[in-house]
Amino acid sequence: MNQTTFQALPLKPELIQNLESLGYIQTTQIQAESLPLILKNQDVIAKAQTGSGKTAAFALGILNKLNVKQFRIQTLVLCPTRELADQVANEIRKLARAIHNIKVLTLCGGAPFGPQVGSLAHGAHIIVGTPGRIVDHLERATLTLDNVDTLVLDEADRMLEMGFQDALDAVIAAIPVERQTLLFSATYDNKIKSIANAFMKQPQMIEVKADIKADNISQYFYPVDGGGQRANHLKRILLIHQPQSAIVFCNTKREVQAVQDSLADFGFSVVSLHGDLEQKDRDQALILFSHKSANVLVATDVAARGIDIDSVELVVNYDMAHDPAIHTHRIGRTGRAGNKGIACSLFDEKEAFKVAMLDLASDPVVNPDNLPEQALDRQLVQSALYQTIQIDSGKKQKVRAGDILGALTADKDIDGKQIGKINVYDNWAFIALDSQIAKKALNKLNRNKIKGRSVRARILAL
């Protein structure tokens, strides 16, 4: 693996200093191979999976190039989903915190249009957004990209899968031809090649293979016969492994909904992600899953892009992925940060060739008789560890996570160990609480004040 240190790269001193404070010393492979080219202002095509460190690669490149004194939009980063755009924007802000007065603005669908117009009126250096919403702003003349000198297409393959080709064409047409273009994609097919040929100047190609360690992830493949048996095997797998956090992948939106309904009827704490969900429902599903208030997330590949949760214990392929690269991306959701992971795949006779296409060290097919029938017992369904409470105050009300923690533990009737993840957004905050004390915490929050202000709290339902 090609590695170097960040200090060995020609980055601004303040970027190096910030990287050291964050504990970033060694580059990942994608950073080692792409950053020298990006810093030379070359166009780059990088084939790399989520989790490879690609966001930091292009973020450091654009921050090193940015002229803070010129308060105009110099960089546009396009992402397929709002969740990924938010993650990218937060990563850029984190890497930029030693450089004063850099403004990063997100423009995504599913968020009110008016406040975005107001934010744009005050200017920005970097825009991170989804293609559809960027086009909306261009058409309404609330956004101009005349000064953009760097364009980043993050997860370009998923943008094309989601039908953003026309939107991409429209956005790229609004950006000066003299620019640097960086394209990151998990796959490199003919559609990606056509973008590269049409919009990039002598791009340098980099490919980093997914680093899925066999000793970190145990893979099992179960043959099935018919949809009823597939659903039955899924329940048995979940009951045997009893994960606090599991992702089930399906190939269609209709199947996602059917699987969620089946698991919910059986008693599992389950949420879903698919393309037909309203943004509010999508946001709530992700909050519940990340807070461990739902043990199981059922999703399509496209809908799951942008999810960054390190503690997923189990991945189940309800349907086999369409190609080996997607299969690798799916199972790479587990076994992260040095943890052990389990990946189980269900396949029927028509999908057997997809198993054969995978680069497996040994025959991993498991006799489904190893899934004991007695596991189908509703009493074995494990409840979620936490319930999540939402309050109607956030960053704009000057509320911080510490304020919420203090309000809950002030009387010492709630132990801080019973409080899980706290997420604070502009006008809302979400708190994960041990299920046994959730109602007590709810009453406490509705009765008391935070930062001298009364709040309204409610428990999020599955």
How many residues comprise the chain?
A: 462
Is residue 251 one of the residues assigned to a domain?
yes
Residue 338 domain flag: yes
Residue 361 pLDDT > 70? no
Total domain count for the chain?
3
Same domain, 227 and 369: yes
Q: For the segment 385-443, what is each residue's pLDDT rounded down to a tens digit?
A: 999 999 999 988 999 999 999 999 988 889 999 999 999 988 899 999 999 999 999 99
Lowest mean pLDDT among 254-268, 295-309, 400-414, 432-446: 295-309
Residue 3 pLDDT class (50, 70, 90 cuts) = low
Q: Tell me whether residue 221 is in a domain.
A: yes
**Judgement on whether residues 147 and 104 belong to the same structural domain of the protein:** yes
Q: What are phi and psi of 408, to 5 degrees?
A: -80, -30
User: Residue 226, SS3?
Assistant: coil
Tell me, what CATH number does 405's domain have?
A: 3.30.70.330
d(Cα 435, Cα 115) in Å, to the nearest integer? 36
- 266 with 247, same domain? yes
Q: What is the pLDDT of residues 95-142, one digit of tens each?
A: 999 888 899 999 998 888 999 999 999 999 999 999 999 999 999 999
Q: Which residues pair with 419 in a beta bridge?
A: 433
- Domain shared by 350 and 400, yes or no: no
User: Has residue 304 been placed in a domain?
Assistant: yes
Boundary (domain end) residue, out of 186, 207, 228:
207
What integer pLDDT is reported at residue 288 of this predicted model? Answer: 95
The mean per-residue pLDDT over the stretch 329-357 comes to 86
Please answer whether residues 28 and 53 qualify as being in contact, where contact means their C-beta atoms are separated by less than 8 angstroms. yes
- Complete DSSP assignment for 379-420: GGPPPPSEEEEEES--GGGT--HHHHHHHHHTTSSS-GGGEE
Among residues 335, 364, 380, which one ends one of the domains?
A: 380
Cα dihedral 77, 256, 246, 162, rounded to 10, equals: -10
Per-residue burial over 402-411, b = 16 or more CB atoms within 10 Å of its CB, e = otherwise: ebbeebbbee
The answer on 170 and 238 residing in a single domain is no
Q: What percent of the chain has pLDDT over 70?
A: 93
Q: Are residues 193 and 231 in the same domain?
A: no
> Where does 131-226 have alpha helices with state H?
131-139, 156-161, 165-173, 190-199
Whether residue 295 is contained in a domain is answered as yes
- Domain carrying residue 86: 6-207
423 with 301, same domain?
no
* Residue 212: inside a domain: no
Query: Does residue 82 have a pLDDT over 80?
Result: yes
What amino acid occupies position 390?
Answer: Q
For residue 146, being part of any structural domain is answered with: yes
Q: Are residues 228 and 373 in the same domain?
A: yes
Domain of 151: which CATH number? 3.40.50.300
Q: Are residues 43 and 181 in the same domain?
A: yes
Distance from chain centroid for Cα 439: 30
Average pLDDT over residues 144-172: 92
CB under 8 Å to 391, separation ≥6 — which residues?
Answer: 404, 428, 429, 431, 445, 450, 455, 456, 457
Q: Are residues 341 and 226 in the same domain?
A: yes
Q: Which of 380, 399, 431 is the last residue of a domain?
A: 380
Q: What secondary structure does DSSP assign to 237-258, as a single string?
A: HHHHH--SSEEEE-SSHHHHHH
Same-domain check for residues 22 and 37: yes
1 assigned to some structural domain: no
Both ends of the chain: CA-CA distance in Å? 43
Question: Are 232 and 318 in the same domain?
Answer: yes
| pLDDT score, position 306 | 62
